[in-house]
Amino acid sequence: MIGQAGATALLLLGLICVIMPAVTWVILARQHSPVVALWCVGYLLCASGLVLIGFRGAVPSWASFPVANILGFTGLLLSIQALRLDAGTPWRPGWMLVACLVYLLTYKALWLGLEKPALRVCFVSLTCLILLTQVAMLAWRIAQREQSTAAKAIAGSYLFMAMTMVVRLAGLAWLGGAASPHPLLRIVMTIAAGVLPAIVANVGFIGLALERSLRQQVEAAASQARLEERQLLGNEIAHLDRQRGFGLVAASLAHELNQPLTAILASAQAAQRGIAADRLAPAESLELLDKVVSNTRRISSISERIRSFIRPTVADAGPVDLEKITGEMLDLLKVDLRRLGIRVVFSKPALPILVPGDAVQLSQVVLNVLRNAVDAVQLVPDRSIHIQVTRSAGEAVLGIRDMGPGLDPGLAEQIGTPYFTTKEKGLGMGLSISTAILRQHKGSLVLRNAQGGGACVDIRLPILAAGGALA
Amino acid sequence: MTPGLAASWANAELRKQPGRQHSERSHRGRVILIDDDLEILAALSYLIELEGYVCETFSSALDYLGQLALPRTRPPGPCCVLVDVMMPDLDGLEAQRRLTALDDTPLLLMSGASGVHEAVTAFRAGALDFLIKPLEAETLLLAVEKALAVSRERQSLQARSLALTHRLVALTNREHDVAIRVARGDLNRVIAKDLRLALRTVKLYRQRAMEKLEARSTADLIRVLQEAAL
């Protein structure tokens, strides 16, 4: 009766050891994690062991204790391996196999060689104790590392199981091999030492996995937010840089605006005075009015250029004509180029080369590079800049070469990093912003010393085919 | 056609007409306009010609300097130069330096940028005015008028000093020595003693020098010599 009750307790425990990992598996199967698989299989092996012991007498004796024990041992090993794998320090499978064999042989030796079952029970309990402690320690380490309550629950439950083994061993030592504890006590012990910890450990395992995936989601969301923020900030900086770039050419633009304004004012006032003094023929008045009109158009084209350059944009996907934006930026710099006596040689492609992207941002890159070239050629007598738009290996290449002093090889590595500048009034942001913009456009910027002197910047971008798709 | 319009036509025809009209206008004044912007050249020259001046336009200071280098008689009458500061091949300040080295034609500079630095440099180098673009017709024409007045004054001063030089050259050495000493305030007696001449001879030289220098009195003589020394 009581023996049957003991078997029932073991079967109940075995059932729990099947149900709990099954639940774990169902919940965590989506993670496709070998850790979960090892954990569940480990439990199933233990469960089979427990069921075999529960059916002892009904199954051949060789199949009950030895097989059950080796199953339990292997199951616990797999649990350990699951946690070790999780920690990134798994055992080699070969070593585990060896451990199983050694365990089996030792057990068999004890079974066959010595007629003392107490020693055998002692051996089994001791190995169990060691393995359970091992699981508890690993779980505790995870709990420490991740501040996880779930892992603490696992550690606690395994520690509790280990303690029951200690109690069992103590009982063996105290009562001697002959006497075994009261069967009822064994049933209570089995349930207390097995069922509850098995449930707690599995719930803890599920909890740990869920905690992690939640944390991952939070982290992913946080990093996404950071990325977006960075991008927003990047746009903001790029916008500021554009405004600053505009500030640098503002003096030139003021002059450029002043020219047509001067012509308009002079024409209008000439007409005024001429008509007032009755000294102007109608044809002449018309001529003067024509001048007013044409120069007003000149101004509006300049202001359009300014507006399109400084508008804060949402990234656009093009198509952008590289030659066209380069020409526009050269126009922005026109006055400076003329004032400084800089010669620009612009080799244009036979057909326009279109790239996908944001015209304003790409213009900014071109202006940055052109400004660097303008600064560089001022240091030398040969004030010329060579610009070339070509196709090369399926890419659009805008090459801007100045005949300036070139790059100092000692500083080459620092060039392009934020805040690095060789210029007195520079912020050191130009090239890093340009590089960032080009990266967003799946392009690149290479700065090198050209053969025959001077620096050369190659801006590479993917080409947009005629249909509007990427070539 | 109304009489007013007809008059205006006639006027316009006159303005375009070269020859006699040109030389008359040239007498009023000649404005050399230098700017690299053709629209500005056209508009400003319209405005200037409308006031009855001759306006010669150059799109580069180098062109004008090249023309100056040609051996050619300049038309008579006052003349001033109005040059833009910001120009590609030769900027206004450099043009100013080269022009002042050549002659003393009054210079007006104009610039779009109200650059204090440029203005100061221009004034130090003797610019008569520094105009900020866009130019008000009133301001421009006033500046032109002033510059032409300065030119006229300089030209007459030049003519006078040229005439005086001619007169001085006509003096013999002795007459010159005597005239200088008279201007200094020496008495005839002292001069005779200094130059070891007879008093009568000194008087004769003094008389001749005064005649040649067209001086009516001793005070006149002093003034003439002072002007010539300039």
Q: What is the CATH number of the domain that holds B218?
A: 1.10.10.10
Number of residues that make up chain A: 471
HSE-up (13 A, CA, CB side) for residue A57: 6
What is the tens place of the pLDDT at every residue in A187-199? 777 777 778 888 8
Which residues on neighbouring strands pair with residue A400, listed in sequence order? Answer: A387, A457
Residues B145 and B176 in one domain: no
The amino acid at residue A18 is V
Q: Is any Cβ of chain A less than 8 angstroms from the Cβ of B43?
A: yes
Q: Quote the percentage of chain B above a pLDDT of 90.
A: 25
Check pLDDT > 70 for residue B140: yes
How far from each other are the two terminal CA atoms of chain A, in whole angstroms? 83
In contact, A25 and A82? CB cutoff 8 Å: no
Return the minimum-mean-pLDDT range out of A202-216, A400-414, B85-99, B149-163.
A400-414
Q: What is the pLDDT of residue B43?
A: 92
- Give how many domains chain B has, as a whole number: 2
Q: CA-nearest residue of chain B to A274? A: B50
Domain that holds residue B53: 3-153
One domain, residues B103 and B52: yes
* Chain A residue with Cα closest to B138: A269
Q: ipTM > 0.90?
A: no
Q: Which residues of A touch B12 (CB under 8 A)?
A: 279-281, 284
Residues B190 and B110 both lie in one domain: no
Cα distances (Å, whole numbers) of residue B137 to A262, A416, B53, B131, B140: 10, 51, 14, 11, 5
pLDDT at A257: 83
| pLDDT tens-digit readout, B196-214 | 989 899 999 999 988 888 8
Mapped onto helix, strand or coil, the DSSP state of residue B117 is: helix
Q: What is the residue-averaged pLDDT of chain A? A: 80
Going by C-alpha positions, the residue among B63, B53, B102 that lies closest to residue B83 is B63
- Over residues A232-267, the pLDDT tens digits come to 766 676 677 777 766 666 766 777 788 899 999 999
**Given a cut of 70, is residue A413 above it in pLDDT?**
no
Apex CA A67: angle with CA A64 and CA A72, to 5°?
Answer: 105
- The CA distance from B196 to B183, in Å, is 19
A213 in reach of chain B (CB within 8 A): no
Q: Cβ neighbours of residue B191 under 8 Å, at least 6 residues apart?
A: B178, B181, B182, B197, B202
Alpha-carbon distance B42 to A442, whole Å?
50
How many Å apart are CA A279 and CA A460, to the nearest integer?
61
The CA distance from A260 to A295, in Å, is 5
B153, B183, B216 — which closes off a domain? B153
For A187, the 3-state DSSP assignment is helix
Cα(B140)–Cα(B131) distance, integer angstroms: 8
What is the set of domains in chain A, with CATH numbers?
2-225 (1.20.1070), 315-462 (3.30.565.10)
Residues B97 and B206 in one domain: no
For chain B, give the mean pLDDT: 83
Residues B127 and B51 reside in one and the same domain: yes
The predicted pLDDT at position A295 comes to 92
Q: What is the pLDDT of residue A428?
A: 54
Q: Tell me: the pLDDT tens digits for A150-189?
A: 888 889 988 988 888 888 888 777 765 444 556 677 777 7
Report, as an integer, the average pLDDT of A17-38. Answer: 85
Lowest-confidence segment of A240-249, B26-35, B93-102, B161-170 by average pLDDT: A240-249
pLDDT reported for residue B161: 82
Angle at A363 between CA A310 and CA A304, to 5 degrees: 45
Question: Chain A window 271-330: which residues touch B at a Cβ cutoff of 8 Å?
Answer: 272-274, 277-282, 284, 288, 291, 294-295, 298
Any bridge partners for residue A123, and if so which? none
Confidence at residue A446, expressed as pLDDT on a 0 to 100 scale: 84
Final residue of a structural domain among B153, B181, B211: B153
B59 in A contact zone (CB under 8 Å): no
- Residue B32 corresponds to which tokens in the numbers above? 């050399």
How far is the alpha carbon of A251 from chain B, nearest alpha carbon, in Å?
Answer: 7
When CB atoms are compared, the residue of A257, A265, A280 closest to B8 is A280
Residue A278, token pair as written in the block: 């009755």
**B33 is a domain residue:** yes
pLDDT at position A174: 76
Q: Write down the residue that tokens 């006590």 correspond to.
A: A185
What was the pLDDT predicted at A161? 86
Any CB–CB contact under 8 A between B9 and chain A? Answer: yes
**What pLDDT was estimated at residue B7?**
43
* Predicted pLDDT of residue B58: 93
Per the CB < 8 A criterion, the answer to whether A47 and A19 are in contact is no
Q: Tokens representing A421?
A: 């500048």
Residues 6+ away with beta carbon under 8 Å from A460:
A392, A395, A396, A397, A438, A443, A444, A445, A446
Alpha-carbon distance of B130 to B92, in angstroms, equals: 11
Same domain, B127 and B189: no
